Amino acid sequence: MGPTQPERWVRERLGHSPRDPALFVSALTHRSAGGAHNERLEFLGDAALNFLIAHQLYRAFPAADEGDLSRLRARLVSREPLAEIAAAHDMRAVLHLGAGELKSGGFRRQSILADALEALLGALYLDAGLAGLEPVVERLFGPRIAALPEPASLKDAKTRLQEYLQSRGLALPRYTVLAIAGEDHAQRFTVSCEAAPLRLSGRGEGSSRRRAEQGAAAAVLAQLGAGVDG
């Protein structure tokens, strides 16, 4: 008997020859299809992937602190990038979905693609251990790690402003809600940010107080000039 379609896909796309092909069939099976599906493998793959990406980032960014590394990792292991990697390797062709998911286009859904990729990595961990999984993760994610921006650029405006002030021994900024407009389900917040020691202030608007505060902090940073990293 020749290899199954999922087994061939794993060999061609991941460069791994399964010792237990059934693991990979399960990894590519959505719960809507019934039988052995990929949720448990997804749980395992998520943990293994987070560890290996953390290790790779730790080596690639020796000057980055814990917060920087966490922000960088979030760029790599969130739903969108995982789904993009799965789609780039044509995982849709080997996904096994139930009739309802097939009819609704589930093979294009980011959540399904991302979960299946994590499940595949979980299957690969069980089949080959970390030693077998690590080079696959490096191959899949290496180009994305190489293209990551400098860690400081990932900090949000409030964090960058706070760090800028703290590094100079200055008082933290004060945020004040100036106005709340609109119905409960579609409110707009206007917030001011005052950096008194710098004699600077800015305003921001957004659909939540947090977003408005970020906009106000960004307005103050803009007055300080580009390139304020904290």
| Pairwise CA distance, residues 86 & 57, whole Å | 21
Is residue 53 within 8 A of residue 135, CB to CB? The reply is no
Give 107-136 as a DSSP string: GG-HHHHHHHHHHHHHHHHHHHHHHHHHHH
Annotation says 118 is catalytic: yes
Strand order in the sheet with 174-181: 174-181, 188-195, 200-206
Say what the alpha-carbon torsion angle 50, 56, 58, 59 is, to the nearest 10 degrees. Answer: 170
Catalytic residue among 7, 42, 46, 127: 46
Helix (H/G/I), strand (E/B), else coil: 37? coil
How many C-beta atoms lie closer than 10 Å to residue 208's C-beta? 11
| Pairwise CA distance, residues 105 & 152, whole Å | 39
Query: DSSP alpha helices (H): ranges in the chain?
Result: 5-9, 21-27, 39-60, 66-77, 79-88, 99-103, 110-146, 157-167, 209-224
Catalytic residue among 101, 118, 127, 213: 118
Q: What is the token pair recorded at 165?
A: 């002030």
Residues carrying an active site annotation: 46, 118
